[in-house]
Amino acid sequence: MAVEKAERIKELTELLSRASRAYYAQDQEIMSNYEYDRLYDELEGLERETGIILAGSPTQHVGYEAVDELPKEAHESPMLSLDKTKDREELRAWLQGQPAILSWKLDGLTIVLTYRDGKLAKAVTRGNGEVGEVITGNARTFINLPLNIGFTGELVLRGEAVISYSDFERINSRIEDADARYKNPRNLCSGSVRQLNSEITARRNVRFIAFNLVRAQGVDFANSREAQFAFLEKQGFEVVQRVTVTEDTILEAVEDYAGRVESYQIPSDGLVLTYEDIAFGQSLGRTAKFPRHSIAFKWADELRETTLLEIEWSPSRTGLINPVAIFEPVELEGTTVSRASVHNISILRGLKLGIGDRITVYKANMIIPQIAENLTGSDTVEIPETCPVCGGKTQIRQVADAQSLYCTNEECDAKKIKSFTLFVSRDAMNIDGMSEATLEKFLSSGFLHEFADLYHLERYRQEIVSMEGFGEKSYQNLQASIERSREVTLPQVVYALGIANIGVANAKMLCRHFDYDMEQMMQADEEELGAIEGVGEVIATAFVEYMRNQENVRRIRNLMKELRIQTVQVSAEQNLAGKGFCITGSLEHYGSRNELKDVIEQRGGKVTGSVTSKTQCLINNDIASNSSKNKKAKELGIPILTEEDFMAKYL
């Protein structure tokens, strides 16, 4: 039995670590939150029972690892996660007769802010709890963050960077390619805060909500947490909504929060309870992972039992076919639900689903419908061998840590609609007024077979004008937008083609390398592409496979005949030709790293995301920092130059 338990610990540690890595670092989901919590609790219980804790156990680590692209910095003291409960009576017993502060547990990205002399000096993400990422420039763009405060002593506080549900919906609605939309506000916020270009962060309406004062130099708070919150509010910070509770009032307060969670605009996955008496809380100490001054309360998921009616298979532009569970409608958190995404084949198989199975469903964070458990486990759902839209052959592919289903037919109607939707989108050909619904009408009417056909819709003028929702004015506006799109840059065209793994940045990189010559690009092989700094095997393979298809080549040439490719401005002075540079940290003379990157590229140079033996120099205003890039540069003997030194030497 002891051996079996040890093996189970090993199995759970590996599985949960993989799920955590996918969720935090790759923005993927390979199991539901419900399943993760259930397995986590099982692992934690086995560790207590056996005394066995593996080095990689998720019970011993917090959050994601800091990425290489941002400077890293160690926290003064480890940022621990909180112990949790779903039992309201357990929450009341935890108080031990003490008053405490109950507040929302926000679902975003935790940030540590440091102010000195009344000014924001530093912002660092939580990272892995030990080391975080320095995102000071991005924090300055948070819409509600005070850059200057009245208090001039050193102030250190913690809070959550969040994006509201309304802003999440607004941003997603502008992304015309459905495959590229964000899954939830937390993923969008995480990506926004950790951007290398603060201009992108500024467009995302990120808010900072303070939830903990770490230190305020010389201020006596009379041992009161509430006094700390009041102090932060006085300095202009938005502070988490809270209420002081006792053993007599806590259950009523929790019920009040439960009634407001669905209408609350800020993503929240529970509540936090913290002792009002600071000294009392600190006197309780901490465990290896949890401080004892606070505890998290996670909503006990409202489970409903129902019957699985069918699995709907929904194709996308890339050929990915997503499984969606359709079940007998049930009431959950005040609304009727009848469908839930199963995400991928791995989760589908893990749930052992079968039509007619009795399943339990819930709303993750009381919002997103999910399957919690399969009570029958018949495991009879068949993975379709053909695409539900075109009848083409399907294929199961391993993508990162999950298996997913794809349609292999390049002529699939679903792919065509999604491909044309990407083609006309803002970052691609930017054809205003060409919605997905309009494209679907044109495709079903036989007006469109390839991208070049968009530039000959005058052939179908009468049919279009007589379509429902159209008229002469609508037709003229659409034609004007199409004509404007003929003036375009080559990177826009390459991105618009919809080649797998070729985003806007990769399209620009490829065009620069091939001197904006499409024919040269089309003839490149995997070895040549793989030698380009920043192009990996995945991108190279996808690009070459696309260009080896003669039908794709024919269609590209037809398209190019319709376009007038704009010349990209290149500086006459090519003094940086053949030289590679790496930029890190904040800048003073340039508004962003992308701005400096453009200057270098206009002079023939290249900017990479990492320091290698081919790097000419690392540009970093903080020469003395212990960032990973500085260490790498020193190891390789690569010069580290400040912005001014770089400008003096090269510009």
Determine the pLDDT at residue 66: 44
Distance CA 454, CA 476 (A): 14
Residue, of 521 and 607, whose pLDDT is higher: 521
Strand partners, 109: 161
Evaluate whether 60 touches 288 at the Cβ level (below 8 Å).
yes
- The upper half-sphere exposure of residue 85, i.e. CA atoms within 13 Å in the direction of its Cβ, equals 13
Q: Which of 241-250, 437-446, 516-525 has the lowest mean pLDDT?
A: 437-446
Tokens of 38: 């259930």
Rounded to the nearest integer, the mean pLDDT of the chain is: 85
Evaluate whether 123 touches 113 at the Cβ level (below 8 Å).
yes
- Note the pLDDT tens digit of each residue in 85-136: 888 999 999 999 999 999 999 999 999 999 999 889 999 999 888 888 899 9
Residue, of 596 and 1, whose pLDDT is higher: 596
* Mean per-residue pLDDT, 521-543: 80
pTM above 0.85, yes or no: no
Determine the pLDDT at residue 370: 87
Determine the pLDDT at residue 527: 83
Distance CA 436, CA 124 (A): 40
Answer whether residue 516 shows pLDDT above 60.
yes
Q: Tell me the pairing of strands 268-275 and 294-297.
A: antiparallel
How many C-beta atoms lie closer than 10 Å to residue 429's C-beta?
24
72 is catalytic: no
Answer whether residue 416 shows pLDDT above 90.
no
How many C-beta atoms lie closer than 10 Å to residue 499's C-beta?
19
Distance CA 431, CA 478 (A): 8
- Note the pLDDT tens digit of each residue in 237-278: 999 999 999 999 999 999 999 888 878 889 888 999 999 999
Long-range contacts of 479-486 (CB under 8 A, 24+ apart): 481/431, 481/432, 481/433, 481/434, 482/431, 482/434, 482/454, 482/455, 482/457, 484/430, 485/424, 485/429, 485/430, 485/431, 486/455, 486/562, 486/563, 486/564
Question: Among all chains, which residue has been given the structure tokens 């935790």?
Answer: 110
Q: Which of 5, 10, 86, 105 is catalytic?
A: 105
Answer whether residue 158 shows pLDDT above 90.
yes
Distance CA 603, CA 645 (A): 17
Distance CA 252, CA 472 (A): 61
Distance CA 126, CA 24 (A): 12
Evaluate whether 504 touches 514 at the Cβ level (below 8 Å).
no
- % of residues, the chain, pLDDT over 70: 92
365: Cβ–Cβ under 8 A, 6 or more apart, which residues?
33, 107, 267, 268, 269, 299
Q: Tell me the pairing of strands 131-133 and 268-275.
A: unpaired
Strand partners, 314: 322
Evaluate whether 622 touches 585 at the Cβ level (below 8 Å).
yes
Evaluate whether 109 touches 193 at the Cβ level (below 8 Å).
yes
Evaluate whether 298 touches 362 at the Cβ level (below 8 Å).
no
Range with the largest mean pLDDT of 245-249, 433-437, 637-641: 245-249
Tokens of 346: 């791995």
Answer whether residue 534 shows pLDDT above 70.
no
First to last CA, the chain: 70
Q: What sign results for the dihedral spanned by CA atoms 509, 556, 520, 499?
A: positive
Tokens of 623: 């020469």
Distance CA 183, CA 190 (A): 12
